[in-house]
A and B are shown apart, each in its own frame.
Chain A
Amino acid sequence: MELHNLELAYFIAPLAISGISAALAALVSVTDRIVNNYGDAVININDGSKSLDVKGGTNMLLTLAENQIFIPSACGGRGSCGECKVKVKSDVGPHLPTEIPYLTREQIDGNVRLSCQVKIKSDVDIEIPDYLFKIKQYTGTVERIRDVTHDIKEVYLKLEDGQAVDFRAGQYGQIETPPYGKVRERTQRAYSMSSRPSDSNHAEFLIRLVPGGIVTTYVHEHLKEGEKIKIIAPFGEFYVRDTDATMICVAGGSGMAPFKSIFYDFIEKGRMNERDIWYFFGARTRKDLFYLDELQQMQDEYERFHFIAALSEPQPEDNWTGETGLITEVLDRYLKNEISPDKPKEGYLCGSPGMLDACMDVMRSNEMAEDRIYFDKFA
C-alpha cells in the first residue's frame, strides 16, 4: 500500500506543474489572440492615389514591402539608418524615442515618421514620393561573379523574366540574402549599382568582404554562378546633377561602383567631354586597385576626364609611380594647385563613412558649397 502511494507521489508533482503551466500557457495565448489582433486596416497612400488592404500588427515598412512598395531602408528595419521616413497624416501616437534622433524639428512637427517603428493598428493616411513606386523587387541570376581585387567581387546579375530596372546611374539597390549558417533571418544591405542604366535587364554590384558581415560573407563564400538572389532597387539621391560644374569625384574600395555606372553612362550618351571630371580613387596598396586599365584608357580618350589613383601605403614591390598619401591629402593638393578655382564645383563621394567625413572637411575648407556635395551614407 505504501509502495503504491509512493509511486503515485512520483506523478503528482510533474502533473501539477504541467497542469499549472498548461493553464497559464493557454491564458497567455488567449490574451495574445485578443490583444494582438489588430484586424484588417487600410493604408491610404497620397490622398487615395493608391489604397492597400492589409493586416494590422506589423510595422509599416514591412507591411508596405509585402505590398510591393519599398521604402528606402539601408538597415533593413532595425531603426538604425533613419532612411525609411514617411509622412503620416493620421494620428498614430507620439514619436517614439527610437525615432527622434533621426528627425529634424520640422519633420517632427510635420509628423514624418520612421516607417519601421510605426505599427499598423488601424487605418492610416500616408504620403510618399511618387518615385518610390518605381522601386521594385527583382530576382537576379548570377551570370558572372569574379574577383576584381583580393577582397572585392564583381557580381553581374541577369534579371528574371525579361524584367528591367529603371534607375539613374549612381543609385543603389538592396541585396537580400536568405538565412544561411548561423544567420536565421533574411537580411538586406545596400550596395551601389555599377551597371549602366541602359543595360536594364542586368544589375551589377561591387561587393567588398566585410569581416563578420552577413551579406558580404554570403556573397563571397556562398554565392555561385547560376544561383538566384533577390534585389530591391533603385534607391538614393546619388546621381549626377545636370549642370556644367566641375565634378570632383572621390571613391575608395567598392565605392568605385556608382562611378563605373556614371562614367559608362556618360560615354554611352556622348556626354563625357561636356564637363570637367576629376576622379580620385584611394587605396592602400597596389593590390587594392582595380579597373586601372579601363580608367586609364578613358583618360586618354577624353581630355576633360582626369583619373588620379593614390596609394596610402605603397609597397616596395608595387613599383608605384603615381600619387601617394591619403586620398584626402591628394584631393586637397589638387583642389589647391591643379583644378581651376574659378569654375563652380560639385562633389560626389562614395566610400566608408570615415572617408566621406574627411573628404567633406577637405572640400569645405577649399570653399566648395556643402549643398553641392552629394553622397549616400549607408548605416
Chain B
Amino acid sequence: MAPDIPLISLFLASIFTSNILLANFLGMCSFIAISKDMNSSNGLGLAVVVVLTFTTAVNWAVLNYVLIPLDLVYLRFIVFIIVIASVVQMLEMIIDRVSQTLYLSLGIFLPLITVNCAILGVSLFMEIRQYTFVQSTVYGLGSGLGWWLAIMALSAIRKKTEKSKVPAGLQGAGLTFITIGFMAMAFIGFTGLLQVQ
C-alpha cells in the first residue's frame, strides 16, 4: 500500500528531515571530492537532481509494469543500475554539448554518478516504501535538491575554512569530515517534523 503522505510534506521531508546525504549518508564520495570547488559542486548538484528525478520515475515504471507483473522483483538491483547507467550516459552527452566547461570540471565524477549510492538508494527506498508514481517522482526530485543543497552548503563552508588557520593534521579531508558531522547533527534537528514514510 502506498503511504498516505501529502506531496508537499514528502517533498520537504526528502530535502530536509531525510536528506539523502546528511540523514542517510549516501553519495559521500563525490560529496567530499567535488565540494572543494563551488562551481563544480553547483554543476554536479544540478546533474544529480536531473538524474535522480528521471531515474526514480523510470525505475518506478520498470518496477511496476515489468518487474512486478513478471514476478522478477529480485532483479531490481541489476535493472535499476542499468537504467541509471543509461540515463547518466545520455546526460553526459547532453552536458558535453551544452557546456564543455561544466563537462570538463565534472570530469570523472559525471560518469561516476552511475555508482553514486544516493541514486540507487533513492530508487530502492522508493520500492521499499511503495510510493506511487507521483510520490516517487517528487521524492526523487526532493532528494536531488537535498543533495544539491548539502553539497552547496559544504562547499561554501569549505571556501571559508580554506582561508582559516587549521591545525596541520586536520587540513583538507580531516576538517571536511568534522564539518560534515556538524552539518548532519544540524539536520537531525529537523527530525520528526515531517514524515517520509
Contacts and interface: CB of A to CB of B under 8 A. Distances in A.
Interface in B53-100: 62, 66-67, 70-72, 75, 78-79, 82-83, 86, 89-90, 93-94, 96-97, 99-100
A97 B83 contact: no
Interface in A15-54: 16-17, 19-21, 24-25, 27-28, 31-32, 35-36
Contacts of A24: 82-83, 86
A36 B93 contact: yes
Nearest to A30: B90
Q: Binding site of A, secondary structure by majority: helix, strand, loop or mixed?
A: helix
A23 to B, nearest CB: 9
Contacts of A270: none
Q: Binding site of B, secondary structure by majority: helix, strand, loop or mixed?
A: helix
B104 interface: yes
Contacts, number: 54
Given A27-B86, A31-B93, A17 B75 contact: yes
Residue from A12, A24, A25, A96 whose CB has the most chain B CB atoms within 10 Å: A24
Contact of B66 (A16, A96, A98, A119): A16
Given A96-B101, A97-B101, A20 B62 contact: yes
Q: Interface size for chain B: under 10, 10 to 19, 20 to 34, or 35 or more residues?
A: 20 to 34
B105 interface: yes
B82 A20 contact: yes
A324 B83 CA distance: 68
A13 interface: yes
A231 B23 CA distance: 60
Interface residues of A, number: 22
A94 B39 CA distance: 14
The 8 closest A-B pairs by CB, nearest first: A24-B86, A35-B93, A31-B90, A35-B97, A28-B86, A96-B104, A28-B89, A12-B70
7 contacts: A16-B67, A16-B75, A21-B82, A24-B82, A31-B93, A31-B94, A35-B90
Given A20-B82, A24-B86, A28-B89, 13 more contacts: A13-B72, A16-B66, A16-B75, A17-B75, A17-B78, A17-B82, A27-B90, A28-B86, A32-B93, A36-B93, A96-B104, A97-B104, A98-B104
